Amino acid sequence: MIVVGLTGSIGMGKSTAAAHLRARGLPVFDADAEVHRLYAGGKAVERIERAFPGTTSATGVDRGKLSAALIAYPARLRELEAIVHPMVREAERSFLRGEAKRGAPVAVLEIPLLFETELNRLMDAVIVLSAPAEIQRARLLERPGMSAQKLEQLLARQLPDAEKRARADFVVDTGGSIEETRAKLDGIVTQLQSWSSQAYARHWA
Ligand SMILES: CC(C)(COP(=O)(O)OP(=O)(O)OC[C@H]1O[C@@H](n2cnc3c(N)ncnc32)[C@H](O)[C@@H]1O)[C@@H](O)C(=O)NCCC(=O)NCCS
Ligand SMILES: Nc1ncnc2c1ncn2[C@@H]1O[C@H](COP(=O)(O)OP(=O)(O)OP(=O)(O)O)[C@@H](O)[C@H]1O
**Which sequence spans correspond to the domains of the chain?**
1-27+104-200, 38-94
Structure confidence at residue 203 (pLDDT): 67
DSSP 122: G
Asked if 119 and 180 count as a contact pair (C-beta separation under 8 A), the reply is: no
The protein residue with its alpha carbon nearest to ligand 1, atom 30, reads: 10
What was the pLDDT predicted at 6?
98
pLDDT score of 153: 86
pLDDT digits (tens), the chain, 205 positions: 999 999 999 999 999 999 999 999 999 999 999 999 999 998 999 999 999 999 999 999 999 999 999 988 889 999 999 999 999 999 999 999 999 999 999 999 999 999 999 999 999 999 999 999 999 999 999 999 899 988 998 899 899 999 999 999 999 999 999 999 999 999 999 999 998 877 766 766 5
Tell me the ligand closest to 157's alpha carbon.
1
- How would you class 161 by CB atoms within 10 Å of its CB: exposed for 0-12, middle for 13-18, buried for 19 or more? buried
Q: What is the pLDDT, as a whole number, of residue 201?
A: 67
Cα dihedral angle (190, 192, 194, 197), rounded to 10 degrees? -140
Task: Give the burial class of 89: count Cβ atoms within 10 A of its Cβ; 0-12 exposed, 13-18 middle, 19 or more buried.
Answer: middle
Phi/psi for 98 (5° steps) reads -60, -45
Q: Which ligand is nearest to the CA of 33?
A: 1
pLDDT of residue 48: 98
Is 12 annotated to bind ligand? yes
Supply the pLDDT for residue 132.
Answer: 97
* Architecture of the domain made up of 1-27+104-200: 3-Layer(aba) Sandwich (3.40)
- Residue 152 pairs in a beta bridge with none
> What are the Cα distances from residue 52, in Å, to 41, 82, 89, 154, 189?
15, 13, 22, 21, 42
E strand or H helix at 133: helix 133-141
For residue 204, the model assigns a pLDDT of 63
The whole-number pLDDT of residue 193 equals 92
Residue bearing the CA closest to ligand 2, atom 19: 13
**Known binder of ligand: residue 13?**
yes
Tell how strand 125-130 and strand 28-30 pair up.
unpaired
Q: Which helix (H) or strand (E) holds 126?
A: strand 125-130
Q: What is the pLDDT of residue 205?
A: 57
Question: What is the model's pTM?
Answer: 0.94
pLDDT value for 187: 97
Decide if the complex's ipTM is over 0.90. Answer: yes
